[in-house]
Structure 1
Amino acid sequence: MHNVIENRFIRAGLFIVVFSWFIFTVYEFTRSAVNIGKFNFVVFLLDTTGTIGLAFRMAAGLMALLTISFFAAGRGLTEPETLTSLRWIILGEAVYLLALFPSGIIGLIIPNIGIVIEWGIPCIIESIILPFAFFKLFMELKPQHERGGALKWGLTAGTVYIFVFWLNNAGNWIYTVMEMGLAYLANYPLNILSFTLTVIGLFALALYMAKFSRELIKRGAVEEVDIQKVGVIATLLGLYFLAVYMMWILFGSVGGWSPWYQWFLGHNMDLWAVCLPIVGVPMTFYRRLS
């Protein structure tokens, strides 16, 4: 794994992705903070908890940026220093996800099946299962622990994350069809493509990640991680976000503004993932570039 970081293409890609993640989070935190208190009490409550969560993600992003900067500069860190940095990054992300729990509760109790699908279920799952996996990973990333446990919970968190991406985006597309009518899909081929990439494509990627993780967890050896497959997963995930975003850039809000565009462009905290191919592609061709 050390040799992976030594690869200059992967190192540069990681720096760009982490930098993008941090800057995007700073932007979303600022936008959220300045809007607190502008709406009713429920929105105020959700905005406040969400903003606090974004503050923790921002801190995690800063720690990640500082960590990768050492490697990008060719200095690197010792193993204990790297593990300590990773633990704080993971903890910050876990708290960010926990802050989504109130949104999940509100989304479940609103008497609207569309809101439950679009909002309630995804927020509940990502605010309970993901933090649990991250806290387990946090505990396993101690220098004295075997790496098998960290591998297990890291892969588990990664798999659940992709399933959450699918739940969030598929839920919003389904809600959009419920609100706008089936014609919003049937009359616009680009919407059919976006819907298919989201509901079927992301789900297929999540299943592939689950299969990859299961096989690797059984072996339990960090040294057996297939960097090329990790690169393929990261690239495909990033290309999904990039493809949907570019469709909007090139063709606008096909069929008119809808809950889908409101979600993807206005409330999506993961648009930074469009940068993932920058690190995913060199990982995919890792052996060839090393």
Structure 2
Amino acid sequence: MGKWQERYVGSIRFWILVAVAVYLGYALYFAVYGLQFSVQLSHDQYVWSMISQNSLWWQVMYYTSEGVTGSIAIVLRVFAASFAFYAAFLYWRKKDTAMPQIRKNTCRALLLEAGFFLAIIPSVIAAFAYNSTSEYLFYFGHTPGEIVLFGTAIPVLAINLVIPPLLLKLRSKIKAEAPGNEIIKWASLTGLGYIFVTFWFNYTMLWAANMVPYPRAGDNFGLAFLNAPVNMASFAITVFGLLGIGLFAAFTLAPAIKKEPTQVNLTYLGIAIVAFSAYFIYNTLVYTLTGGYEAHPSVWYEVISPMHNANLWALALIVVGAPLTVWGLTGKHSTVK
């Protein structure tokens, strides 16, 4: 590898560290925010006055899924992000000489990230159970069951069926010190799993939840909400645009999945990452410039709120995608070597 390439690889390693730092920062924010919510929930008399009107089984399920396992999940992600950050730091500063430590900390991060998703399984159970009851959900009275079904039960179940197995498979390959092309294959499949399931399918289902009639939401649901140009654009970019990004990423990573990572076009990979990151930047700008949740009290605006969107760390991936794109466009290194 020439000096120019070494310098550029070092730069990309630094930007990977920056992206992981944002992931850690968001994990810490949601841990603090979520734990405060859990503590408040444990002694909130108003919430108790609503929940206590329900059956005992629902009271237990509600407080378990909202307070206990939810808290466990966000703490697990903080530890996952911490190990990932340390691995990225070693990758930047010590490079290949620290590979045993990088592998060890990456394995820890992957295990804990899988634990994050598995810890919210009680929320999936509660969501499916709620759909067949007349119980109260938090302090909103009886939220239409379809909102909970489309917004939580189905997408989070899909995430748990796909993402933890991929994370654990990737971890097993790294821990066993499998050949590089084997690890890259499973890293690619895991990344695509996130794009298609955690992001595209999940957000598409949340749009479906936004279509459910809900008197509390006024005109912020269904076709009345969708007919607003900015909302229609956000819908199209989510349902079709994010799917297109995923398909383009799958096309780009196809050689890596076939264990031919040297054939991956870095320009295309960089473009896919930039486009994916731009999706989150766009939604954040839309939320901010249109008045946020107060102006549009709806499922979708709650999802894209910077205060509620636990996936917003993904916007930082632009600092990785942009250098990859430039690197490929220079013509000096258009594929992985």
- Would the TM-score normalized by the shorter structure come out above 0.5? yes
Counterpart of 2:173 in structure 1 is 140
Any residues of structure 2 matched to 1:32-43 within 5 Å, and which? 32-36=34-38, 38=41, 39=47, 40=51, 41=59, 42-43=61-62
Residue 178 (structure 1) aligned with residue 198 (structure 2):
no
Gaps of 5+ in 2: 42-46, 52-58, 132-144, 214-220
Amino acid at match of 2:75: A
Describe the shift of the 1:247–1:221 C-alpha distance in structure 2 as closer, same or farther (beyond 3 A).
same
Q: Which moved more, 1:128-137 or 1:279-288?
A: 279-288
Q: Does the CA contact (< 8 Å) of 1:25 and 1:58 recur in 2?
A: yes
Any residues of structure 2 matched to 1:28-107 within 5 Å, and which? 28-36=30-38, 38=41, 39=47, 40=51, 41=59, 42-47=61-66, 48-73=68-93, 77-107=97-127
Describe the shift of the 1:228–1:236 C-alpha distance in structure 2 as closer, same or farther (beyond 3 A).
same
Gaps of 5+ in 1: none
Corresponding pairs, count: 288
Q: Does the CA contact (< 8 Å) of 1:137 and 1:149 recur in 2?
A: no
Q: Which has the higher contact order (CA 8 A, sep 6+)?
A: 1
Q: 1:130-179, CA deviations, whole angstroms, 9 ceiling, x for partnerless residues?
A: 10111111111135423343233222211110112012212112211223
Any residues of structure 2 matched to 1:114-263 within 5 Å, and which? 114-142=147-175, 144-163=177-196, 164-179=198-213, 180-186=221-227, 188-218=228-258, 220-253=259-292, 256-263=296-303
**In structure 1, what is the Cα distance between the partners aligned to 2:176 and 2:267?**
27
1:4 is displaced (CA, Å) by 7.5
Counterpart of 2:216 in structure 1 is none
**In structure 2, what is the Cα distance between the partners aligned to 1:5 and 1:152?**
26
Amino acid at match of 1:45: T
Amino acid at match of 1:193: A
**In structure 2, what is the Cα distance between the partners aligned to 1:284 and 1:4?**
16
Describe the shift of the 1:225–1:90 C-alpha distance in structure 2 as closer, same or farther (beyond 3 A).
farther
1:6 is displaced (CA, Å) by 5.5
- Cα RMSD after superposing both structures: 2.5
**In structure 2, what is the Cα distance between the partners aligned to 1:202 and 1:247?**
16
TM-score by length of 2: 0.77
**In structure 2, what is the Cα distance between the partners aligned to 1:215 and 1:20?**
29
Q: Which moved more, 1:275-284 or 1:63-72?
A: 63-72
| Percentage of matched positions with identical amino acids | 25
Describe the shift of the 1:283–1:124 C-alpha distance in structure 2 as closer, same or farther (beyond 3 A).
same
Q: 1:36-59, CA deviations, whole angstroms, 9 ceiling, x for partnerless residues?
A: 151554342123212212212111
**In structure 2, what is the Cα distance between the partners aligned to 1:211 and 1:75?**
29
TM-score by length of 1: 0.89
